[in-house]
Every structure is written in C-alpha cells, then in structure tokens.
Amino acid sequence: MHLLLSEELVEIKNLARQLAEEKIKPVRQQYDETGEFPYEIMNYIAKSDLFRVFIPEEYEGMGFGITGMSLATEEFSRVCAGIALGYAGTGLGTMPIILFGSEEQKRRYLPQIAEGKRLAAFGLTESDAGSDASNIKTIAKKQGEYFYLNGTKQFITNGEVADIYIIIANSNPEKGIRGLTAFIVEKGEKGFTFGKHENKMGIRGSSTVELVFDECKVHKDNILGGEGMGFKVAMKTLDYSRIGVGAQALGIAQGAYEESVKYASQRVQFGQKIISFQMIQNIIANMAIKIEAARALTYTSAKYVDGGGKDIARVGSIVKTFCSDIAMEITTDAVQVFGGYGYMKEYPVEKMMRDAKITQIYEGTNQIQRLVIAQEIIKRGCEIKDMY
C-alpha cells in the first residue's frame, strides 16, 4: 500500500507507528481504566512534530493535509483509539481555521497548534442537536463589536483539555441554519466553563466534556468565515474530517486483526494451534480482505481531497461509513477468535471492540451518512464519479 504514499508520508506513518508502540501501547490499559487524558503522550507527539503534519507550511506546518493526519491517526488508533483522539480531535478543531480562517486568525493560532503547545476542539453537538445540526440552541447575542454566547455543547472531544475551541452558535435564530455563526473561543474567557465529564463505554483515554457558555463575550474578529456562515463551516469541516474517522476505524481494525493472528498462532486446542482450523482461517482471511479494501479507500480518498476534489461530502461519507462498519465487524470477530479470553480486559480486543462502536456514531451516524450518499446518487443518476 506504500505505492500510494510518497517517501515523506511513509516516514510520517513509520514515526507514528514507532511512537504508538513505544509510548502508547505500554499505558493504553491504564488510560482506559482511569479515563484520564494522556497529556504526556500529547507532549511526545508534539516533540515528534506530528502536529505539524496537517498544518500548511506557511504556518509552520508540513503541509500534508488530511492524508498526513489520517496516517498518524491510523497508527495511533491501531494501538489505542482513545489516546489517538487527543491528536485527531485537535485536527478536527483546527480544520475550520485552515478552511475558513482569515490570514490574521491563521497566523495567530496555527503555528501554536503546529508546535503542539495548544490543543483544539470543535463544538457543534448539543443535547437536541446531534444529527440535526439545524436545531442548535446556543445563542450569540450581538452587542456592538461583541457577541455574548449562552448555551451548552455536549459530547465535545478534547473538552476542557483544549485551548482553542470552534463554537457553532445561532446569531440570528429567525434565519434557522442561515443564522448560525462559527466563533473562535479560547479557554479562560469569562463566562466559558465546563460541565459534565462523560463516563464512556470506549475511547476512555479521551476527554469528552460539556462546554457551558454564560454571557461569554467574543469579539467579532473571532468569527470564522463571516456572520451566518456557521452551518457551512461546520458541514465543510466534517466533510474533511470524516476521512480521519475512517482512518481511526481502519487503525482499530488493523490492531484487532494483528492481535487475532498472534493469538490464534499461539492458542492450542484439540492438540493444535487454532490458526490451523479452517473456520479461524476464514475469519482471519476476511479480516485481511476488508482491511486492505478500507486502507485503499482511505488513502486514495485522502489524497483526492488534498488534491482539490470537489465532491468531498460524498467521499468523506463513504470512507467513514465503510471503515467504521468494517472496524465494528472485525473487532467483534476478534473477540470471537479469542473466545472467553476475548471478553476479559487482560486482552486488548474487548477494548478495541468498545472503541470501534463510536466510529459508527460520531461525526454523523452511519445512517445519516448513507442518506448523504444516496442524495448524491439521486443528483447524479446512475453516474459514479471515480477518484482515479
């Protein structure tokens, strides 16, 4: 699969894999059990310059875009998808600035993110606004040159640990989704606090926290893309970042596959290693087939998007849906290969199964993604526009 990657991208992938093996794997169970955020790991990632991967070169990054971010996310997630989210969640929170930020905003924030000094987060979801982003209740009241934010964001990755937040709020409720505006809000602003810390089934090494706004004062210069552009900012950001979710799911699937092959090569039943049984071979072969398909789809799609592809909503939805479904299937099969041991926390595949589930849910459930794909099909008739 390295035929799809440049020498520089292969180096990024290998560096991320080395860091995952040496720094993440020894502590993944600890962070899964405690639910603490892995600050130390984020520092290692920063020192390795991997936060620079997805930042444009003119802002002290490497300029490898979605492709570079996806490769690093895949390798981190192969070992621990929860810890990987500190990195991938920062990519998500940074993407609106890259796509819609003014020159001044980019120069103010992107170099700090590239250096790993400041993490980022994306605040879209609310209790009544999950799949239906048009139902956002957080209000931004305009008074002169300032807006005052009031409301609560829910299930926010990197909540409380980030320093830079992109918040989607309604600055003109009468206009519906055309009244949504995207704001850059920094930690420490008066009226910006944190609420519930979620106790999650999986990805427990990530921070998922409510963001609470009570008359939080934000200057108009912190608007991204212009007033009333919030829905476009949010949707375009997710179009790009869903490929990163696909990469996370791919990494989880790869990790579960590797653990399954290793275990089946050691476990003896009925006087022979279970990998010699045709039923086990069939499971492992199917894992390998689906992972290779998912990897080819992810890499090709990431390069297509970075190359200026136009129909990225369709592409991102396909990658996210396919890879997350594969991850859920493969991790479930991995637990089955391990048998009773697979259900025990002593072995990593039960964690991988728990981690995989969220990839089918966040950044747009797979049911919603299939609607997006279907709408594109209806628009185009029977045409399937390829990426080659």
3-class secondary-structure state, position 182: strand
Query: Do residues 194 and 90 share a domain?
Result: no
Q: Is residue 320 part of a domain?
A: yes
Residues 82 and 134 reside in one and the same domain: no
Total Cβ atoms within 10 A of residue 190: 9
Q: Is 363 annotated as catalytic?
A: yes
Among residues 189, 186, 125, 130, the alpha carbon closest in space to that of 157 is found at: 125
Handedness of CA 35, 40, 42, 44 (dihedral sign): negative
- pLDDT tens digits, residue range 224-251? 999 999 999 999 999 999 999 999 999 9
The domain containing residue 39 runs over which residues? Answer: 2-118
One-letter-per-residue 3-state SS of 204-255: CCCCEEEEEEEEEEEEHHHEECCCCCHHHHHHHHHHHHHHHHHHHHHHHHHH
Domain boundary among 99, 118, 137: 118
Same domain membership, residue 281 and residue 152:
no
What DSSP line would sit under 362-377, residue for residue?
TTS-HHHHHHHHHHHH
What percentage of the chain exceeds 90 in pLDDT? 92
pLDDT tens across 95-115, in order?
Answer: 999 999 999 999 999 999 999
387 domain residue, yes or no: no
**Final residue belonging to a domain, choices 101, 118, 135:** 118
Using the predicted structure, report yes or no on whether residue 381 has a pLDDT greater than 90: no
The answer to the question of residue 258 being in a domain is: yes
Give the active site residue among 210, 259, 350, 363: 363
In a shared domain, residues 262 and 278: yes
Cα gap 109→173, rounded to integer Å: 29
User: What CATH number does the domain containing 131 carry?
Assistant: 2.40.110.10
130 and 202 fall within a common domain: yes
Residue 386 confidence (pLDDT): 61
H helix intervals, the chain? 7-19, 28-34, 39-47, 65-79, 81-100, 103-115, 230-264, 278-306, 312-338, 349-359, 366-380
Question: What's the rounded Cα separation, in Å, for the pair 213 and 207?
Answer: 18
Q: What is the pLDDT of residues 3-49, one digit of tens each?
A: 679 999 999 999 999 999 999 999 999 999 999 999 999 999 999 99
Instruction: Assess if residue 54 is contained within a domain.
Output: yes
What confidence tier does 176 reach under pLDDT thresholds 50, 70, 90?
confident
Residues 245 and 302 in one domain: yes
Percent of the chain at pLDDT > 70 equals 97
Number of folded domains in the chain?
Answer: 3
